[in-house]
Amino acid sequence: MRFTNLGLQMRGAVESRRLVQLDGVNADRVVGTAWAISSVLAGLAGVLLAPIYGQLQSQNYVTLMVAAIAAAAWGALRSMPIAALAAVLIGVAELVFQGYLPSSSIFYTAVLPSLPFIVLVVALLAVPELRSLNQSSDPLASVDPPPPPPMAHVRAPQVDRIVKILWYSLLTLFIISMLTWMPPTWENVFNSGLAFSTIFISITLITGMAGQLSLAQGALAGVGAFTTAQLANHLGLNMLVGVAVGALVAALVAVILALLSLRLKGLGLTLMTLAAALFFDSTVFAQNSVSNGTGGLDLKPSWVGGLDVFEPNGHPYFLFAMGVLIVVVLGVIQIRKGTLGNYLTAMRGSETGAASIGINCTRQRIMIFALSGAVAGIGGTLLILQQQVANPGEFSYQLSLVFVVVVLTAGISTVEGAIQAGMGFVVFQQLLTYAPSRFQGLTFAFFAFAALTYVSHPEGILEYSKRRWTIRMQQVFFERPEKKAAPSVSAAIPARQAESDA
């Protein structure tokens, strides 16, 4: 492929699809061909590996995926010989360690399963080419227009007044309904939505505001949740007090992740956060001492300190979760309006330009990682309080990926988008329970197809709908066309002359 026209076109499409198209090449067809070839190779690998496993399990291929990413990273995602050599060495090392390490040692139970993640992290830190993956060499990149501002900043004052009245009315109606007539099943659904909304706001912080694509927010939520549960289990710490402790520990883990990835940007940072999510899922959360295995840690009602917050369908939990969500929302809004928000906006546009005007990008990056980790930890603790068990399956790496997709689909740049994503995520799952059983596992597939709208509307479905309906409302109610008199013949002649000159 390296010495064929198709291989040259593939490398050209990586650098600049538009420049390749100017040369008469169908860039979409070239990229589609690359996808097809890579999928054939992946399918072939799966077929060849199937007889090795005693039974087919998705977890075996998860480890394979991490090892493949680690090998490709050592080849800087470009060199096939180096990637193949690294893959062989990783496979040999795993089999050798399995044969010689005692099965009861911590190296066998903890270090060996995390070997691909360690190799990936070392590659991300050691290979210089991975630090420049975000640097675009597309000479036509500057022709892209800037994204439109949020509709809430540019809509007419009359429309803004109407929208705010409707929003506060809907919020009041929701609170009254939850405290009066809402059935227990749906009350449980919306309580779960409050917890997911808090986790999703952490994605808005790190990705929507800072422009850093993190795939580890679900893992950070699990760090906060299991920290709170373990402190309550071993020290008898009140769960409500544990929310703050879990948030602090999740923030510390996020800071460590930020320090490890300071020199990584774009795809390199994404791979680092994916490695962290896979590490916590396969190694940390899988330990019986942390999560009690697949059964999870059962929570005790006495941990809530006399308050009836433990009941997931109860009104006290709703008031507590709603209060926490409101505090988080107000805090994020203040961050967006303050100095940190302006710094993050400048960094999202150009880190080089932000540094040139005196902004310490390293400090801002660590700070936003810490804040997003703390918010994710709070959301994780709310989730286990609502579900009455700290289950590691709720914080798997797959859900970390799904969380980002859901928020991107709804609207990554606004707090409202994160809340709508959290509520929509749980409501859609509940609606599927009324459908036949064969359709009840389609939640992730639905959001995967919904993510295709991101190509046409990167601002998100929510922001696109707001923009569309706001413009229509302004045209219908506030932009009435003025009646114009018919032009005279004497006025038409100069008009035609001006039109001809133009």
- Domains of the chain (ranges; CATH) run 5-132 (no CATH), 164-450 (1.10.3470)
- Residue 190 and residue 321 in contact, taking contact as beta carbons nearer than 8 Å: no
- Residue 260 and residue 121 in contact, taking contact as beta carbons nearer than 8 Å: yes
- For 360-398, give the DSSP string: -HHHHHHHHHHHHHHHHHHHHHHHHHHHTEE-GGGG-HH
d(CA 399, CA 379): 14
Q: Which residues of the chain have pLDDT under 70?
A: 110, 133-147, 300-314, 440-441, 443-444, 478-502
What is the percent of the chain with per-residue pLDDT over 90, rounded to a whole number? 23
Structure pTM?
0.84
pLDDT at 470: 81
Neighbours of 49 (CB within 10 A): 13
pLDDT at 500: 46
d(CA 403, CA 398): 9
Q: How many residues does the chain have?
A: 502
pLDDT at 325: 94
pLDDT at 23: 85
pLDDT at 224: 93
Give phi and psi for 120, each to the nearest 5: -65, -45
d(CA 20, CA 412): 31
- Residue 389 and residue 299 in contact, taking contact as beta carbons nearer than 8 Å: yes
Question: What letter would DSSP give residue 357?
Answer: T
The alpha carbon torsion through 22, 28, 31, 36 (nearest 10 deg) reads -150
Tell me how far CA of residue 285 lies from CA of 222, 390, 424, in angstroms. 8, 10, 27
Residues 15-40 as b/e (b if ≥16 CB within 10 A, e otherwise) read ebbebbbeeebebeebbeebeeeeee
Give phi and psi for 342, each to the nearest 5: -65, -40
pLDDT at 331: 93
Question: Tell me: the pLDDT tens digits for 295-337?
Answer: 777 776 656 655 555 565 568 888 889 999 999 999 999 998 8
- Residue 11 and residue 27 in contact, taking contact as beta carbons nearer than 8 Å: no
9 alpha carbon, distance to own chain's centre = 32
